[in-house]
Chains A and B, each alone.
Chain A
Amino acid sequence: MNLSETLSRLPEKLRAKLLAHPAIQARLKEGEPLESAVGGAEWARRWAAAADAASQALLEGLIRTFAGLPFGEEAAEARLARATDLTGAEIRVGLARLRRDGILFAVRKAWGNRLLYVPTDMVGVWQLTLCPPTAEPLPEEREGAVEVRSPARLPLSLELLQVWADIRRRGFPLTAKGAPHKAHVQKLASGMRLTAEEIADSGILGEGGQPVPANVALALDIGLCAGRLVRDSGGIAAKDELDGVWADKPLCDADAALLDLATARYGGQEAGLHWAATALRGLKPGRWYLKREALREPGAEEREALGKWLKLMASFGWMELGMYGDETAFRWRIDPAPQSFRSDEPAFGPIASEGGAFFVQPDLEVIVPPETSFGARWKLERIADRMACDVVSIYRLTRASCVRAGEAGFGFADVAAWLERASGMPLAEPARRTLEDWFGRIGKLSISDAKLLRVENEELADRIARDAQAEGLLLERLGSRAFAVKPDGVKELTRRLNELGYPPAVETAPSPSAASSPNGSAPGKRSKNPPAPGTTDPGWIRRGPALSLYEPDESIPGREDLFPGLDAVPAAWVQRPGRYHVSTRRELVERAIAWRTGLKVKQGDRWFAFVPETLTSDEGGWKVAGRRRGFEDGETAADRALELSADNLDELMIELPLEPAGASRTNR
């Protein structure tokens, strides 16, 4: 779930808490709405500057371990305690703090389990803020030595445009079982340069079992998620109207939005993949980097994820891969930075200095430069035939394409005016004349469905024609004894004719859907009872239930929730070190283990922090195993393992992390 969706569902109590948060309040006073007050790079920078190291380490750990996937508190505690130096208590307290700071949010399942999550669009922002990339590009003078190895690809936006435009033109009907027409799907798949194998190899769509080739599945999935495609009763349809980056922004903005979506949706299925994907987004566009240097201290899983993602980005036409000597190198062909990290410098990519205008040639070829918006291309797909899609796209207005345009409701004046507006030039005379000729014969005839009202005699027909109410429901009189009835007026007309004392006999025809479905199940059955909006994943690919299915959780755990029984223990145990009887020492240790927190211990004349993990009794007493906190030079985790007997604990106290943000990490 992204930040905007999260905030829109935020319970009032939590919203009030957020609004009262001093750092957020400061942002709100600067005129930022809540969404940008707790979103974007600037907020992340400010938070990180004020946060203590443990909070930063916790958030980095969460991002690295879970990315935008939901997780339970116990799982977080278990995994992060292994991966970091934090105690379970510090993690629990830290999680609560992150929730209060508007970084982490939670939902509650029906049976009470709480799931935490970082909004998907903020995961990358936090990663790039807390862990900015350190890789340096190859010096410009050495870039010539890179040999490009990746295949030539269109930016993903153009691949999708072709598929979506085809769906708009031909539809994408699904059978009762949700399967599309094989021949149509194969045609779509073979028309894409992005191959099904590339997508399948990347694993981003999960294990096979798709009724369509993976490249088409991807186009459907993105289309449905981005709102460009919608499910309807018979299958999938393309939405004609455009908004946001799909309307009049340069094409590179559409690709930037697609990169956001791809990172969150496909990279986000696997935290390692998301981590690698996001790290790459911190690099400069157009510059070559070595793969080896792309990630900071990557583990094996992250290295593998990096390789997979680089290949995918090259397949999407957003990146080029090459060899620099024996090493793999790569460079972005688009600006990969999340929106809030973009600088004020001119955007990377084709400069829309001419407003993204395309050129209409006198022979009705339309030359579309890369900077032309998705929206303009979407319209061209409607009125012209695509001849080439490469560095520039080339369309041609033909008689057949004008017929299609006419069917879609465009007339000569619309097309000519739009072409002139979008190209910034008057149409050349031969082009104008040809269009005028073609459109001159389009739209003169139409075939439409209408109900027929037959009347026994002319006199009655005249009477009906004179009736003001009935007349409003009729399309036109077809002769002396027949009328075409407005399709949506049949019911009302029947009522009116009844009132006039002439109840009509209604002839019924077999329903087309019944005729085409001998087994009685209509195409698109799956969407007959559509689920409530937002409660299922919108995409083509089956994913788990959307987080929005669950109720937002409004309870942020307090100290008593985090440390059950705290009120029952003597205050001194958690406030200052003391000497205790051996049995009391044991109680303190047991309590610390239960709370998964640390102890401050004095052994001889040395104080140190100790995290107890297991307590065992033996004949003479008991001993506790755990780890000493804090690394010293050259130490490994094994070096810090420690076993202490009761006699080794001269003085001790339980260390509980403090809650307020910005305060020291513990009560030491």
Chain B
Amino acid sequence: MMPSNQSRPLVAQSDGTLLLSESHPRYAEARDILRDVAELRKRPGEWHTYRITPVTLWNAAASGWTAEEVVANLRDLARYGLPALLEAEIRSLMGRYGKLRLVREDELVLRSEDPGLLREALSYPGVDACLLGPPACDSVPIRPEARGWIKRELIARGYPIVDEAGYRAGEALDVELRRTTEDGRTVALRDYQAEAVEAFAPAAGGRRESGSGVVVLPCGAGKTWVGMGALARLRCETLILTPNATSVSQWIRELLRNTTLRERDVGVYAGERKEVRPVTVATYQILTHRQTKDGGFPHWKLFVDRNWGLIIYDEVHLLPAPVFRMTADLQATRRLGLTATLVREDGREGDVFALIGPKRYDAAWKSLEREGWIAKPTCREVRVPLDEETAPLYQAAPKRARHRIAGENPLKLDALRRLLSLHPERQTLIIGQYLDQLRFVSDRLGLPVITGSMPQSERERLFDRFNRGELNALAVSKVANFAVDLPDASVAIQISGSYGSRQEEAQRLGRILRPKSNGADVYFYSLVSEGTDEVEFARKRQQFLLEQGYRYEVDRFVPEAPSSSPTPAPKEART
């Protein structure tokens, strides 16, 4: 073991895991470096876990870091030294970055100053099909249509390609951010949003490879604003892809409210509407729709219907695999990915790097929270006992049925009432997994409920009423998990959830993280049936937020009425 130095804040492991001590005087310095060269995996307490991966190192290289600088900085920060294995890995991976470049000469050319590396890269099966002619010592012509494919295949094998072949300008579009909205509110990007736009598309032109990449901002930090900022900066026709129809509507509303675009400039490509206009907002779902399992994707033509100068991928961590394939064919178009996390459940971070582009900007949740750009939540788990009727039912049920019985615990209604009475003036979302339960709650509390079966226009009408303050509470199913903008919601009460999905918990919390105009704190409650498997599932669901530095408190709900006479549960809940 090498001598330690307690005056250093970092522990570097051989596998690329980095642990950073939050209370260390050099924490901020180290954090700023790690944000560039590693990815934050979790920050549950004193020690924050980062991870160096090939993609993080290439992202660092793309933003100007050299291997020598990374090694020197980590050495300087590392309490027990930098493991030789990790140092070698950093040098090897970063040493490859920039060695292979796609450039536009008379044709598209893959060029390298290292002939050995070029030979190595071209030796992989399938690569020869991308070549337009025989390789020379330091270069090889590439088929234009293979631009994305070769980038994706070679990065998967550890050979990143810097794409300097440039982008088409796209059809010009006269668009800019308004100075004020129609209702008189000032339109301006926050500092970090402006920085993100600048990092993505520098005003002065920047390096040749800039113009594509990913901006990482926490939920509620205004990723849409970065998209609008990029649109206004590049002033070109733009295709915006989002995860769902609600999000489509919200993009359009924001575009019309905050930019000089008029209604005739903006199209919806989702559901029944198939408008292709200078700025078109579509869902991933419509793009990946096909009649049969083996059939073609009829809506892919959207990508070539217009001369797009920019494609924005909202929630890029959710980008479905077929869209990656389409994106591979669109490498001549600028691409902006927006996300709260680069970590993908399917591990395809490399595809995001190769096909969308490197990370251009990243801002940490907690620092935005400190600066007041996202609201500070109080997270509370409320444990609700099972009533005397449900408890034996739960005990007797087969394991697979228990989760639902616990989730639909009738006493949760009483607990819900009590929570609503704690925040009578606040706009509250009641989020649930089971439609029967949501309808039961809606019925008993006299609230409207939004589910997936409700027509989009009706959903939007209710969301609008909620946003206007005409509704104080709204019950919603999982349709509201993603990309629904409810800026004034400040209380969320989760009455049931899908087993242990960590992502769902974070997304649901994200619904209330928009900073409130009055600066008020926000509350996230999760109702959990005491003494059931739901407690354990809740713990798993909370894991992501715990790892992000949020804390849950636990309360126990004590029913006022004798538990022998609970609120009757709906019959369907027993199914």
Contact = CB atoms under 8 A, between A and B. Distances in A.
Contacts of A390: 13-15, 17, 83
A500 interface: no
Contacts of B554: 433
Interface in B1-39: 1-4, 6, 11-15, 17, 19
Given A349-B1, A351-B4, A353-B6, A152 B46 contact: no
Contact of A399 (B12, B536, B543, B547): B536
A363 B45 contact: yes
A357 B374 CA distance: 36
B546 interface: yes
Nearest to B549: A362
B551 interface: yes
A411 to B, nearest CB: 19
B553 interface: yes
B84 A148 contact: yes
Contacts of B80: 350, 369-370, 391-392
A663 interface: no
B297 interface: no
B13 A391 contact: yes
A370 B546 contact: no
Nearest to B47: A367
Interface in A324-366: 333-334, 348-351, 353-354, 359, 361-363, 365
Given A369-B11, A391-B14, A362 B1 contact: no
Contacts of A399: 536
A411 B554 CA distance: 22
A348 B551 contact: no
A151 B547 CA distance: 33
Given A286-B2, A359-B47, A367 B543 contact: no
Nearest to A331: B2
B459 to A, nearest CB: 36
B45 A428 contact: yes
A354 B3 contact: no
Contacts of A367: 11, 19, 47
B72 interface: no
B75 to A, nearest CB: 11
Contacts of B81: 391
Interface string A392-417: 10000001000000000000000000
The interface centre, meaning the residue of A252, A286, A349, A350 with most chain B CB atoms within 10 A of its CB, is A350
A363 B547 contact: yes
Interface string B194-208: 000000000000000
Given A390-B15, A391-B11, A391-B13, A363 B3 contact: no
A430 B380 CA distance: 11
A302 interface: no
Contacts of A361: 44-47
Contacts of A433: 554
A115 B520 CA distance: 87
Nearest to B17: A388
A437 interface: yes
Contact size class for B? 20 to 34
Nearest to A361: B45
B132 interface: no
Contacts of B45: 359, 361-363, 428
B13 A388 contact: yes
B235 interface: no
A363 B546 contact: yes
B552 interface: yes
Contacts of A567: none
A155 B85 CA distance: 15
A429 interface: yes
B154 interface: no
A359 B80 CA distance: 16
B545 to A, nearest CB: 10
Contact of A362 (B6, B11, B44): B44
A359 B1 contact: no
B420 interface: no
A517 to B, nearest CB: 39
B552 A388 contact: no
Contacts of B11: 367, 369, 391-392
A434 interface: yes
A359 B24 CA distance: 14
B535 interface: yes
A121 interface: no
B42 interface: yes
A313 to B, nearest CB: 14
Contact of B83 (A152, A354, A362): A152
B12 A362 contact: no
A433 B1 CA distance: 36
A650 interface: no
Contacts of B84: 148, 152, 320
Contacts of A320: 84
Contact of B1 (A152, A354, A370, A430): A370
A429 B551 contact: yes
A371 interface: yes
A428 B47 CA distance: 13
Contacts of B15: 388, 390
B210 to A, nearest CB: 36
Nearest to B42: A363
A434 B539 contact: yes
A349 B80 CA distance: 9
The interface centre, meaning the residue of A251, A354, A362, A370 with most chain B CB atoms within 10 A of its CB, is A362
Interface string A276-290: 000000000010000
A155 B1 CA distance: 8
Contacts of A252: 1
A591 to B, nearest CB: 61
B539 A286 contact: no
B55 to A, nearest CB: 21
Nearest to B547: A363
Given A359-B46, A391-B80, A349 B546 contact: no
B6 A351 contact: yes
The interface centre, meaning the residue of B3, B12, B535 with most chain A CB atoms within 10 A of its CB, is B3
A434 B42 CA distance: 18
B551 A333 contact: no
B539 to A, nearest CB: 6
Contacts of B14: 152, 390-391
Contact of A351 (B3, B83, B536, B546): B3
A75 to B, nearest CB: 42
A350 B44 contact: no
A342 to B, nearest CB: 15
Given A351-B6, A361-B46, A429 B553 contact: yes
B399 to A, nearest CB: 16
A371 B44 contact: no
A351 B79 CA distance: 11
Interface in A495-522: none
Nearest to B5: A351
B81 to A, nearest CB: 8
A361 B45 CA distance: 5
B4 A350 contact: yes
Contacts of A369: 4, 11, 80
B379 to A, nearest CB: 10
Interface string A290-327: 00000000000000000000000000000010000000
24 contacts: A148-B84, A151-B85, A286-B2, A286-B3, A348-B3, A349-B1, A349-B4, A351-B6, A353-B6, A362-B44, A362-B546, A362-B551, A363-B44, A363-B543, A367-B19, A370-B4, A370-B80, A390-B15, A391-B80, A428-B45, A429-B553, A430-B551, A433-B554, A437-B539
Given A151-B85, A362-B546, A392-B80, 18 more contacts: A251-B1, A286-B3, A349-B4, A350-B4, A350-B80, A351-B4, A354-B6, A361-B45, A361-B46, A363-B42, A370-B1, A370-B4, A370-B80, A391-B81, A392-B19, A399-B536, A429-B551, A430-B551
Give 9 nearest A-B pairs by CB, closest first: A350-B4, A363-B44, A361-B45, A390-B13, A152-B85, A362-B45, A148-B84, A349-B1, A362-B44
